[in-house]
A = this chain, B = another copy of it.
Amino acid sequence: LVKGNLYYYFKNKQDILYHCHVKCIAISLAALDDVSAMGLAPADALRILLIKHIRNITEDPYGGVLLTDLESLTPTQRRRYVAMRDRFEHGVREMISGGIADGVFAPQNIDLAGITILGAINWIPKWYRTDGRMSSAEIANSIADQLIRSLRP
């Protein structure tokens, strides 16, 4: 793919960035739907969702762009993207809430716990290198386990 080809499909750099954002969050939303349909206990569902979300961010070539630079989108693009991201974050909070109801997670401020977990994951593109010592799957499993532990009593 050369520069000329890319601009045949996209209006400009901003448009490309927007489509990267939407593509990446759409994959994580599909994972949310898949995992929700598995009929697992909420705490188990959340662990699998976090693994899929982390692997999406680390394995998708656009993943690094995902969660920063919202400032460079147009207001309409930002609104559309943020609506998708909100649906994902809502799904995460529902699973935390379900885990608390099950007694697997401690009673806690769900909004704060959710944004802390998602913030840790959002930071991954800042340090993740595809040529690092650990595979994306190893990193995803380890971080998901740590973040699930953070919710426990």
What residues make up the interface of A, taking CB atoms closer than 8 Å to B? 68, 106, 108-109, 112-113, 115-124, 126-127, 134, 139, 142-143, 146-147, 149-152
CB distance B151 to A146 under 8 Å?
Answer: yes
CB distance A119 to B112 under 8 Å?
Answer: no
Within the complex, the shortest CB–CB distance from A136 to chain B, in Å, comes to 12
CB distance A108 to B150 under 8 Å?
Answer: no
Within the complex, the shortest CB–CB distance from A48 to chain B, in Å, comes to 18
- Known A-B contacts A150-B147, A151-B146; the reply to A134 vs B119 at CB < 8 A is no
CA distance A120 to B20 in the complex (A): 23
A-B contact pairs, 10 of them (CB 8 A): A112-B146, A118-B123, A119-B121, A119-B122, A119-B123, A119-B124, A120-B120, A149-B149, A149-B151, A152-B152
CA distance A103 to B120 in the complex (A): 24
CA distance A121 to B119 in the complex (A): 7
User: Which residue of the partner chain B has the closest CB to A127?
Assistant: B115
- A120 partner residues in chain B, CB cutoff 8 A: 116-117, 119-120, 123
